[in-house]
A and B are shown apart, each in its own frame.
Chain A
Amino acid sequence: MASNLNHADNQDVLRLAGNVDLEHSPEIRKTLLDAVAERVNVFVDLSEVTYIDSSGIACLVEALQTARDHGANLGLISVSRQAMRVLELARLDMVFSIHDDLASALRAKT
């Protein structure tokens, strides 16, 4: 499930929650791709993700690559333990910009 926590002129904060899995990844993929196509800065809050699989990780990777193609930024914030474990297994923890919270993500951008 994806919800928009904060929508400013050039910034979106999207929160993914629960199972980011094969069942829900088509909807999540669309939400993420729409966000990075329209905004300069997109932060994805993963604090409430209880399970993420390869289809969910693929959504994040595609969104990151689309953001880069558009000259936009995509960062991950408040990553849950389970999500971080899967990012590490995929060796993607060094590919994404990961921050403890939104405030530190915004500080890193200034």
Chain B
Amino acid sequence: MTGASSATKLAQGPIEPAPEPLLEMRFPAQADRLKLVRGSIRAAARMCGFNDTAAQDIVLAVDEACQNIIVHGYKGREDGEIRLNLARKQDGIQVILLDTAPLVDPATIVPRALNDIRPGQLGSYFIREIMDTADYRPRPDGAGNLLEMFKRLDSTPWQAT
């Protein structure tokens, strides 16, 4: 092996194990279906090692992301579908949501300001507050949107002061 190729290999660091799939669901993008999904998200979070409070927070974040798809993506269209993939990583839980709604510009997804108590935009605020990462991008197949979220096991849960 040449020195250059060794340096390249070192720079790449250790290979991270692939996420372990826990659950894949497809469901109609309708408000009354979300209660069917919440229990599974909570159970998956607990399986990954999150405590009750953190698991409930993750349920809220994923539920809000689904609501955004229903309300802002499909705009109430009842023939839309949401795909939810939950996977366990060494250090937390990975959540992927896919839809076939028109492409969303991530720059338009703005959480509310902290001192703004008007109704609305709270959903995106909860997602940013609870999850460690939330990455919006087009689906690789170009058929809609993909939201990839991650919550680390060791991230400090938000505490009231």
Contact = CB atoms under 8 A, between A and B. Distances in A.
Residue from B56, B70, B122, B126 with most neighbouring chain A CB atoms (10 Å): B122
17 contacts: A23-B32, A53-B67, A54-B122, A54-B123, A54-B125, A57-B122, A58-B119, A58-B120, A58-B122, A61-B118, A62-B119, A85-B57, A88-B158, A88-B160, A89-B57, A92-B117, A95-B117
A90 interface: yes
B60 interface: yes
B122 A22 contact: no
A89 B161 CA distance: 11
A89 B117 contact: no
Contacts of B120: 58
A102 B160 CA distance: 24
A69 B95 CA distance: 41
B129 A89 contact: yes
What are the 7 tightest A-B residue pairs by CB atom distance, in nearest-first order?
Answer: A58-B119, A54-B122, A88-B160, A22-B31, A54-B123, A23-B31, A23-B32
Interface string A44-60: 00000001011101110
Interface string A78-102: 0000100110111111010000000
Interface residues of B, number: 27
Interface in B44-81: 53, 56-57, 60, 63-64, 67, 70-71
B114 interface: yes
Interface of B: 31-32, 34-35, 38, 53, 56-57, 60, 63-64, 67, 70-71, 114, 117-120, 122-123, 125-126, 129-130, 158, 160
A88 B126 CA distance: 11
Given A21-B31, A23-B32, A55 B160 contact: no
Contacts of A51: 35, 38
A62 B119 CA distance: 6
Given A53-B63, A57-B122, A61-B119, A22 B56 contact: no
Max count, chain B CB within 10 A of own CB: residue among A85, A88, A95: A85
